Structure 1
Amino acid sequence: MKFIDGLSKNDFTVQIIVKQLLRSATSIGANIIEAQAGSTKRDFTNFFSYALKSANESKFWLGLLRDSAKADKDKTEVLLRETIELANILGSSILTLRGKRKM
């Protein structure tokens, strides 16, 4: 939230990207919480899949901000790395839940 609050309020393009990033980034956490409340393994896996899709979308928006030079590159890189790490964790968890992970 601090990162988003620090971006330009006057740049129309930035505001469009910010809205998309805020939506996709908050969706990650919301879907993880929803997964924990899931009544079945399938529900749990599906909500983790939704969270992964949101993480992948967030990676796109962060990359766009970084590449457009409309945000601090170092701060954006940190958030992008964290989002990639989270997406990797979610992806591995989904493979494990589906029994497709090679050990």
Structure 2
Amino acid sequence: MGANIEESQSAESDRNFISKQSIALKEAKETKYWLKLLIKSEMMTEAQVRNILDECEQLIKIIAKSIVTTKAKLGK
């Protein structure tokens, strides 16, 4: 996720930025899945994972908003 966000900061175009951010969004959602799986498999408690899961949710919202804003800029 972080590598794609970093790459998007030096994107060659708005479309390239959206592409990199979209990949980061998918990675963030995958991370959320794995965190939930840690809880369901009882490898970690919800209390142990809660803060990281909350941060992941916040990142998902930020990345999604960034994509929406850039698409609006392009007139899509």
TM-score (norm 2): 0.89
Q: Deviations over 1:24-45 (max 9, x none)?
A: xxxx100001101111111111
Matches within 5 A, 1:20-59: 28-59=1-32
Sequence identity of aligned pairs in percent?
Answer: 38
- Residue 99 of structure 1: aligned partner: 72
Q: Give the whole-Å Cα distance in 1 for the aligned partners of 2:68 and 2:55.
A: 20
Count how many residue pairs are aligned between Structure 1 and Structure 2. 73
* Counterpart pick for 1:78 among 43, 51, 63: 51
Structure 1 gap ranges (5+) = 1-27
The root-mean-square deviation of aligned C-alpha atoms, in Å, is: 1.3
Deviation >6 Å, runs of 4+ = none
Q: What secondary structure is seen at the aligned counterpart in 1 of 2:38?
A: helix
Whichever of the two has the greater Rg, that structure is 1
TM-score (norm 1): 0.67
- Residue 61 of structure 2: aligned partner: 88
- Residue 67 of structure 1: aligned partner: 40
Q: Deviations over 1:35-87 (max 9, x none)?
A: 01111111111100000000000000000001211013212111111101100
Structure 2 gap ranges (5+) = none
Contact 1:66 1:77 in 2 (8 A): no
